[in-house]
Structure formats: C-alpha cells, structure tokens
A and B are shown apart, each in its own frame.
Chain A
Amino acid sequence: GQNIDQPTEMTATEGAIVQINCTYQTSGFNGLFWYQQHAGEAPTFLSYNVLDGLEEKGRFSSFLSRSKGYSYLLLKELQMKDSASYLCAVRGQNQGGKLIFGQGTELSVKP
C-alpha cells in the first residue's frame, strides 16, 4: 500500500525558520514533491527530490532520505504570505506520473 504522513498543522513566527516533516511508504519510488496550496486555490510546485540530500531554492529547501522514507521542507525567513497548506506527494515507479499526496500541513505564520 501507499501511505504518506505529515503533521496536520504547525504555527511559527514571522522571520523564523520552520521544518515540515513527511514520512512515506510506497510501492516503488520515483520522486518526492512539495506543493504549496492557499485555501481554495490550486497547488503550486515548490520542490522536487529524487536523490538523497538537500535541494535549496531561495527561502525554501527540501531534504530526502530514501532509506528512511523521510523528507522535510524547510522554510526560512518566514513571511505572513507563507501561511498556507504544504502538501508532500510521492510519485511511484511505473505508475505513469500520478502523485500520491499526504493530507497536507496547515502552516500559520504569526506576527
């Protein structure tokens, strides 16, 4: 089966750093994605990992450990506009391009 777990909600302070964790169990692995979704809007792509290690992209970084079935999204210098849901998604092997999404982590950034 396929299972993706991430915390339901997190709160952080403007200007701080927050780490959102994601653990997964899937049949085959062909990449892990992080998407940002504001309420009622479309998910937008943030990052992609297929090899172990850290991928950095401005204020956002994502880490992957395939042996541990673990990823995290790191957001630095938090801004109020970063308040959103963060979705972890895994693409399986030989399953077309479909993504299996976690339930999402609702991040609230407070002043």
Chain B
Amino acid sequence: DSGVTQTPKHLITATGQRVTLRCSPRSGDLSVYWYQQSLDQGLQFLIQYYNGEERAKGNILERFSAQQFPDLHSELNLSSLELGDSALYFCASSVPSGVARLDEQFFGPGTRLTVL
C-alpha cells in the first residue's frame, strides 16, 4: 500500500459523458501527478500540481482538466468522453519538490475507466 488513495476503482460510462476521478496523496506530500495508461500508449504523463498550483503539463487534452484543493487532494475531470479515453488513470504523489534528491513518486491503485 503506497498511501495514495484513488476513487472510484472502476468507472463505466457512455460516450459524451463527464466523470471526476479523485486522488488523495500520501500524508505530507505536496506534489500530485496524473498519468493515463492505455494498452497502446503506455504510461503517459498528464499534469502535475504542487501545493495547489499547476506545475507541469503533458499531452493533456482540452477536454480534461484537473485541480488540487487546499487539503491537497486532487480531482481529474474528463468531459465529452470518447471510446479512446478508456484507460487506467493513475495518480502519484511525492515528497515536496527540492527536499529530496530522489523525489520518488508513489502511485495510487488507479481508476479503470471504461467508456462504452
């Protein structure tokens, strides 16, 4: 158990719908990262937040958005869903940037999204 929690574990929805995925980082971690893992794309970085502020952005679609709240939990919002959005969505957290050279990321169990 990494200490990172994600809900829900599974989500089945239809094309065109909107969903929200939730992540709670490990206690004390200020950085939260979102990754998407599909069969043909591997693990792709979407976005990073650090203490409530966006820190880095990957190839995140405009239909996707995220935020990190004052209690440090984060939500990833996916809208106008398409079949190709079906994937595992992982959240990871790490110790405060700059504190440790390693800055290892701990991954949550993921949310499996199926778009029908």
A residues contacting B by CB (< 8 A) are: 31, 33, 35, 40-45, 48, 50, 87, 89, 91, 95-104
By secondary structure, the B interface counts as strand
B48 touches A98 (CB 8 A): yes
Residues of B whose CB lies within 8 Å of any CB of A are 2, 31, 33, 35, 42-45, 48, 50, 55-56, 58, 88, 90, 94, 97, 101-110, 112
Residue of A nearest to B106 (CB): A45
Q: Given the complex of chains A and B, what is the CA–CA distance between A44 and B114 in angstroms?
A: 24
Q: Report B74 CB to chain A, min CB distance, Å.
A: 14
A48 adjacent to B102 (CB under 8 Å): yes
Q: Which of B42, B97, B101 contacts A101 (CB 8 A)?
A: B42
Q: Find out whether the CB atom of A45 lies under 8 angstroms from the CB atom of B104.
A: yes
Question: Which one of B48, B88, B107, B110 lies within 8 Å of A96 (CB-CB)?
Answer: B48
